[in-house]
Amino acid sequence: MTLHNLDTPGDALRDAVNLADIEALGRAALDRNALEYYASGANDEHTLRENRAAFTRARLRPRILVDVSAVDTRTSALGLPLSSPIGIAPSAFHGLAHPDAERATARAAHARDSVMTLSTFSNTPIETVGADAQGRFWFQLYLLRDRAHSRAMLDRARAAGARALVFTVDAPYLGRREVNERHRFALPTHLGAPNVASRDALAQVETDSGSQLANYFRDLADKTFTWHDLAWLREQTPLPIILKGILTAEDAVLAAEHGCHVWVSNHGGRQLDTAISSFEALPEIVDAVAGRSEIYLDGGVTRGTDVLKAVALGARAVFLGRAALWGLAAAGQHGVERTLTLLEDEFRLAMALCGAAQIEDLTPALVRL
């Protein structure tokens, strides 16, 4: 079963000075099944590691003798005011980390003036999360073969207050996460995926030959969807559409031409191993989009300097996947809030030390690749 040693903020959480400290707390609070699901990447995990390494290689070119007595980290994403360009990426099964599951994450996003992206594979119904997020959530869609079911989810998300649709485009099949296959990952019996299946339906998925999720997803997702089908998706919802999983200039151009926003992502290194890191892909995508769409990024963000580098190179905001889950596992809503607070404080300091008093001061000239 999943462990929860830090349900309320205590000395350990208060003493955490960076996201690595919170990760250690979160990892210690999880059983093997949950930890391996959250931490795993595809195959040899080269892309998983490269997401972090790419940020480390980039160097900053700080400016001096600038008035940074007041540093303003505020920005917006699709018109939603944010306290900083830091949001929460979609990830499945928050209930593996904490009993409050996605509700805790949504409350943290609201408390910190951030935005949460709710996964299709949440352990909590869309409507419940929407009530806790109070308008600070986007909905992530895996398009199902049953398009009527997909359309119903979109309707529910809009009615619950979602402000955008994040359409994941890099997962017609799930990448092979070998540790999940080896140890036969499965949801505990008390958890379900209410947006896509009944608990009984999930319980009946075969796990003798590998991951329950991979076996279930194999026949669930629509593998025929192409650029030509985006018109159908647009007809189903008036919400802004963000395509998540873009790693090339060619696809970024097509996204902009189809009226979509761009989320640069390799799925946290969980899909195609040896794919380019999100951060390395960012510059060519920004150049290709040329301001026609907003651009977001996830993958490897653990420091305020990572946020600064991504924003300076053209990302509107960055999103946390595993980092938010470690906070959730460590201390529920308070752990996620602490994660967002620490990263925002680091980002503010990095801005000041680079001579940037506001987001508009972050330009490509600050970063040497």
DSSP 51-109: HHHHHHH-EE----S---SS-B--EEETTEEESSSEEE---S-GGGT-TTHHHHHHHHH
Instruction: Considering the candidates 98, 110, 261, 267, report the single residue annotated as catalytic.
Output: 267
Residue 155 lies in a domain: yes
pLDDT digits (tens, 9 = 90+) for 115-134: 999 999 999 999 999 999 99
**Distance in angstroms (rounded) separating the CA atoms of residues 263 and 295:** 6
Domain membership flag for residue 5:
no
Phi, psi angles (nearest 5°) of residue 110: -65, -45
Decide if 6 is inside a domain: no
Tokens representing residue 252 in the block: 């970024």
Q: What is the pLDDT of residue 205?
A: 63
* Whole-number pLDDT of residue 212: 82
Position 1 in a domain: no
Q: How many CB atoms lie within 10 A of CB 325?
A: 29
Percent of the chain beyond pLDDT 70?
Answer: 94
Rounded CA-CA distance 38/25 in Å is: 14
The answer to whether 267 is a known catalytic residue is: yes
Kindly indicate the confidence band of residue 198, based on its pLDDT and cuts at 50, 70 and 90: low
pLDDT digits (tens, 9 = 90+) for 296-309: 999 999 999 999 99
Cα–Cα distance, 111 to 91 (Å, whole number): 20
Q: Beta strand 80-82 with 75-77: parallel, antiparallel or unpaired?
A: antiparallel
Look at residue 306 in the predicted model and tell me its pLDDT.
99
**Structural domain of residue 326, as residue ranges?**
11-368
Instruction: Please tell me the total count of domains within the chain.
Output: 1
Q: Report yes or no on 351 lying in a domain.
A: yes
pLDDT band at residue 5 under the 50/70/90 scheme: very low
CATH code where residue 358 lies: 3.20.20.70
What one-character DSSP code corresponds to residue 199?
H
> What is the CA angle 120-262-22, rounded to 5?
60
CB contact set of 77 (below 8 Å; sequence gap of 6+) = 85, 87, 115, 294, 296, 316, 317
Least reliable range by pLDDT among 181-190, 209-218, 299-308: 209-218
Is residue 3 a part of any domain in this protein?
no
Which two three-digit tokens encode residue 163?
């402000």
CA–CA distance, 123 with 106 (Å, rounded to integer)? 13
Q: Are 126 and 138 in contact (CB under 8 A)?
A: no
Is 301 domain-assigned?
yes
pTM above 0.85, yes or no: yes
How does pLDDT run across 47-70, given as a tens digit for each residue? 999 999 999 999 999 999 999 999
Q: Is residue 267 part of a domain?
A: yes
Rounded Cα distance, 305 and 327, in Å: 19
pLDDT at 203 over 90: no
- Cα 194 from Cα 120, distance rounded (Å): 9
pLDDT of the residue at 200: 59
- Contact indicator for 22, 327 with CB cutoff of 8 Å: yes
